[in-house]
Amino acid sequence: MSDGTLLSAGRGRPLSSTAVTTLTSEVTRHPGPKRVLVVAGSPEVTDHVLDDLMPADQVVIWATDRSYAAALKVDLAGARSRVAERVTVVTEGSDLDDESIDVVVVATPITGDAEAAHEALDRYRSLLRADGVLSVATGASPASGGGAAQALQEAAAAYGVRSDLVVRNRPPLRIHHLRFSPADPALAERLEPAYSPSHVAVTRRMGIDSNGVAAAGIVGGLALLTKLVRPRSKAWLVPAVAALPVAAFFRDPRRITPNDPNGVVAASDGVVLSVEHLKDDRFGGPNEWLRIAVFLSVLDVHVNRSPVAGRVVDIIKEEGGYANAATAAAEHNVAQYTVLETTRGRAVVAQRTGLIARRIVNRARIGSLLSRGERYGLIRFGSRTDVYLPADAAEAMVAPGDKVVGAETVIARYV
C-alpha cells in the first residue's frame, strides 16, 4: 500500500454519535476474533472502535498524518494501555498485508472527484478478506459529496449490503457498507443485529421507526398550520391528538431473541392464521415448504424481523390487490418475499399487504447478512407475514390462534 494516497475530506466537523455508531456498526456486530482497519481522521470513530474492542480483536489505525499518529501512540501508552498490544498505528507509506482485514472503516466522509474515490475503493478492497466489509460515508446527495458521492453510489448499487441515511448529523450523511464477494451464510449465525439509524430510541427498551417520526411530524405540522390559518378554531386539536397514536403505530421495542440455535422466531407480532405444508417453486428451495402465516392488526408492532440467520439471495416483488389480510384472498395481495440462504437450506419471509396496509418497507439488500431477529423492514397499517421453511427440516411450534411476539416467540424448530 506504500504507493497509495489516503482519501479523506480532512478533519472537518465532528461526526454525531448516530453517524459514528452507524459507520462502525459492522465492527460492533462482529463477535470476533477479527482484524479491523480504521482509516482515521475522526477521533470519535477511533475511540468508538477501541472502546468496543473484543479480547481477541486486532485493530490497525491508519492515521491521516504523522502528528495524529503521534497523539494516538501517546494515548495508547497511557489511557488505553490495556489494549495497546492489540493496536497498530501506521501512517501513509506503510505496508499492510493484503486480504487480512475483516472490516475497513473510513472514518472521515469521502468527498472529491470520482477517479480518486474509485482508486481508494480498489485499495481498500484489496485488503479485505472474502467475507470482509468496507464502511464508508459521503454526503447525503451527490451534490454534497462531489464526484466521490456518485462513485460511492455506483459501488453501493453493485456491492452494497446496506446503505443508511443519517439525518442526525451536520451535514446529513449517506453511509454505505460494501461487500465485494458473497459471504458464507454461517457468518450470519455469529453476528449481532446491525444497528440502524431508522430505529430512533425513546427509552432503553422502546424506540420509534424513522417512518413514525416523519408521519408524526407531518401530522404535528398540520396541527400547527391549522392553528395559524384558523387561530380561533379548535380544529387544530384533531391532528394534534392524532400525532401520538400515529407515532405509537410505528413503535419499535427492544426484543431479546431466545438462545436456541434450532429455533425459528416470529417475523412479526400478531396472531397465527395458518400452519400448513405447500408447494411453491418461486424460491428455488425444497419441493415442499412449511408455511406459518401471522396476521397483524393495527394495534400490533409492525416492525418486521428476520426469522432465521442467513444471507439474502433474492427479493421478489409481486403486484396484487389489497384484500383483508386475514382472508384467503390475501394470497393475491401485493407482497415482497425475502429469500435467505442459511446453513439449513433456504428460508423465506413474506411481507404481505392487507385491507388498510398499502406500503411495504424492505430495507434488506441482496448479499446482506441478517442475524436472527434483526430488523429489516415494516408494513404500514395492518398486514400479514409468512415464514417458509423446508418441510422436511423443520416442525411448527405454534398453532392457528396463538399470539406471537416478533423476534422472541419460537414459531418453528429445525429437526
- Residues annotated catalytic, as ranges: 383
Q: Is residue 133 a contact partner of residue 14, using CB atoms and an 8 Å limit?
A: no
C-alpha cell at 155: 459501488
C-alpha cell at 151: 462513485
Q: Is residue 36 a contact partner of residue 60, using CB atoms and an 8 Å limit?
A: yes
Q: Is residue 374 a contact partner of residue 193, using CB atoms and an 8 Å limit?
A: yes
Q: What is the CA radius of gyration of the chain?
A: 23
Q: Is residue 308 a contact partner of residue 395, using CB atoms and an 8 Å limit?
A: no
Q: Is residue 177 a contact partner of residue 162, using CB atoms and an 8 Å limit?
A: yes
Tell me how far apart the alpha carbons of residues 296 and 261 are, in angstroms, rounded to a whole number: 26
